[in-house]
Amino acid sequence: MGSIGFGLRVPGFPVDGSSGSEFTRQVFDFLSELEPYFDSAWVCDHFHPWADFVPVTTPTIEGFTAIAYLSGVFKRLKFGNIVLCNSYRNPALLAKMGATLQLLTGGRFILGIGAGWKKDEYIAYGYDFPPAAVRIGQLEEAVQIIRRMWTETEVTFEGKYYKIRGAVCSPKPEPTPPIMIGGGGEKLTLRVVAKHADWWNLPNVSVEVFKRKLEILAKHCEEIGRRPEEIKKTLASVVAIAESRGEALKLARGTPFIGSRDLENFIVGDPVTVVGKIKRYIDLGVEYFILRFADFPKTDGAKLFAEKVVPEFL
């Protein structure tokens, strides 16, 4: 089966009307209780809530600042973003930021990055919102710049979207952080994943959809001469777990992250059912799971998962 890892998705905003300070306490209590049981923690990258079921004025933490602070408090966990919007930060600067965080955390940083998608957020904060093909092209250039700055003494890059001249990133990050690219666009994004990703992330999809995306990724890899096994496959999913199936279904239907959506796109059930669902993803090649627990800020679901599901994969 190989080494299977489990990380925690840390919410970027409250869904219960909590104030900023109340939400901060929820996050700290959540991580304090669960740090011994999980490998990593992940925060999204949005300036205000990405979801339409809470007001736009809901307190929302900035993604990179959040992981920089939390990684200094919770020293057992690796930290990453799921995923950074490439458009929001110059790639050379982001390379420097990532190298600094890798140094200060002693090697616990994972760079999660994607092309970006939330048009209203771009406009609100003064960013241009080009077509998807342009944003994906920008992402491809950005990850090349970042990797080169982490591994080369001095970098000059003349691309269609980005140009840097004699950029230096010192000290180099040790070890070089994995670059996890998020997204499932079949023609463009998955080709960027095939060419440049160390890790690949896909969120909230059924086993059948994940299988189809993997097949397309494999074709892109074949076209460029790369082995698909070189890319770590990761799944982000919402988990509604309880001692009984009925309780789990009630929890799933009661959270806005699942609600009336197709349950096949999520991980829902009692521990035995959850173990079975995860095994189906692992059989496809998924090696790492980044999980949002539906009962946050409670820790009951995450603890039940840690006690009765994780040991099945150790």
Q: For residue 203, what pLDDT is reported?
A: 98
Beta-carbon contacts of 24 under 8 Å, excluding residues fewer than 6 positions away, are none
Count of structural domains within the chain: 1
Q: For residue 2, what pLDDT is reported?
A: 58
Dihedral sign, Cα of residue 46, residue 47, residue 53, residue 58: positive
Which amino acid, 279? K
Q: For residue 166, what pLDDT is reported?
A: 98
The Cα 77–Cα 70 span in angstroms is 9
Neighbours of 310 (CB within 10 A): 18
pTM here? 0.97
Mean pLDDT of successive 10-residue stretches along the chain, which has 314 residues: 88 96 98 98 97 96 98 98 98 98 98 98 98 98 98 98 98 98 98 98 98 98 98 98 98 95 97 98 98 98 98 94
CATH number assigned to the domain comprising residue 300: 3.20.20.30
Strand ranges, E, within the chain: 5-10, 40-43, 78-81, 84-85, 109-114, 155-158, 163-167, 179-182, 199-203, 232-241, 267-269, 286-293
Beta-carbon contacts of 31 under 8 Å, excluding residues fewer than 6 positions away, are 8, 10, 41, 70, 73, 74, 77
Tell me the chain's radius of gyration from C-alpha atoms.
19
Q: Are 111 and 178 in contact (CB under 8 A)?
A: yes
Quick one: how far is CA 216 from the chain centroid?
Answer: 21
Beta-carbon contacts of 71 under 8 Å, excluding residues fewer than 6 positions away, are 77, 79, 101, 104, 105, 108, 109
Half-sphere exposure of 241 (CA within 13 A, CB side): 28
Which amino acid, 70? L
Give the domain extent around 245.
Answer: 5-313
Q: For residue 1, what pLDDT is reported?
A: 44
Quick one: how far is CA 228 from the chain centroid?
Answer: 20
Strand partners, 180: 112, 199
Which amino acid, 76? R
